[in-house]
């Protein structure tokens, strides 16, 4: 999301991106390949091994996410991404290390059946969620899918999209995430990158992340400050479903 937009322009902005997504989906629907339960392609790499020292906080491998559960497909606790995207992230990380900072990765490749799990969770008929007060305090659970916060297709499944932030280390060596104004996966207008009612430091932190990611070949999703996709992604129309679990070490 972009910081100069007025608060009242947020809804049209989200509607624009939802409409654009629908148009693109229809336009390329004939080329989309469902890669169900297939073997991992050779050009996917373990991000934590590819970039030693990068910080990881894989939200869907624990209960610390909007579903309140370990998400189906994330049982191994690993982070996979295409080599092309990993190479670009390594350049971002190098820039940050010079500042005494690091990338903090929340999610990268996401199996299609994990996406299906999100949809099922959103539509399960249970109007309540223990995580509502944290992740979507202004919305009902039933609104998340129709309003586009959860979708049946995700760029993450193509393998070159990543959710991340920036962190530093305190004097005692503890990791400290920079203040971005909201938590990861916050469902609301406050998560838009240029949400106007941020303090100066929060705006600067979001701008730093956006600037470095774009510098090294990523495009930004404006309604989620943490969400970036490699511009020249190697699998622009393939939605993978290999499981992040045993057999994919």
Catalytic residues: 224
Q: DSSP strand E in the chain: where?
A: 33-36, 44-46, 55-56, 80-82, 102-107, 161-169, 175-177, 218-220, 227-230, 238-241
97 near 89, Cβ under 8 Å?
no
Strand 55-56 and strand 33-36: the pairing is unpaired
Angle, vertex CA 154, rays to CA 58 and CA 51, nearest 5: 40
**Read out DSSP for 58-85?**
-GGGSS-STTSSPPTT-TT---EEEHHH
Q: Which residues contact 247 (CB under 8 A, 6 or more apart)?
A: none
86 near 45, Cβ under 8 Å?
yes
Please, which residues bridge with residue 227 across strands? 163
Q: How far apart are CA 164 and CA 72, in angstroms?
A: 21
């Amino acid at each position: 999301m972009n910081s100069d937009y007025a608060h009242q322009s947020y809804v049209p902005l989200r509607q624009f991106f939802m409409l654009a997504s629908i148009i693109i989906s229809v336009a390329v629907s004939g080329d989309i390949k469902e890669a169900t339960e297939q073997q991992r392609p050779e050009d996917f790499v373990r991000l934590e091994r590819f970039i030693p020292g990068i910080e990881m906080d894989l939200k869907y491998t624990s209960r610390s996410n909007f579903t309140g559960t370990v998400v189906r497909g994330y049982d191994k606790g690993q982070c996979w991404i295409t080599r092309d995207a990993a190479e670009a992230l390594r350049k971002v990380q190098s820039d940050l290390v010079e500042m005494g900072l690091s990338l903090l990765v929340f999610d990268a490749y996401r199996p299609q059946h994990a996406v299906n799990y999100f949809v099922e969770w959103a539509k399960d008929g249970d109007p309540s969620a223990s995580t509502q007060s944290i992740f979507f305090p202004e919305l009902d659970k039933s609104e998340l899918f129709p309003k586009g916060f959860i979708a049946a297709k995700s760029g993450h499944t193509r393998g070159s999209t990543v959710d991340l932030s920036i962190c530093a280390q305190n004097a005692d060596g503890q990791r400290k995430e920079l203040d971005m104004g909201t938590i990861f996966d916050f469902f609301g207008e406050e998560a838009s990158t240029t949400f106007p009612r941020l303090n100066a430091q929060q705006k600067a932190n979001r701008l730093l992340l956006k600037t470095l990611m774009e510098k090294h070949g990523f495009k930004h999703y404006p309604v989620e400050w943490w969400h970036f996709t490699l511009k020249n992604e190697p699998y622009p129309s393939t939605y993978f479903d290999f499981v992040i679990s045993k057999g994919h070490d």
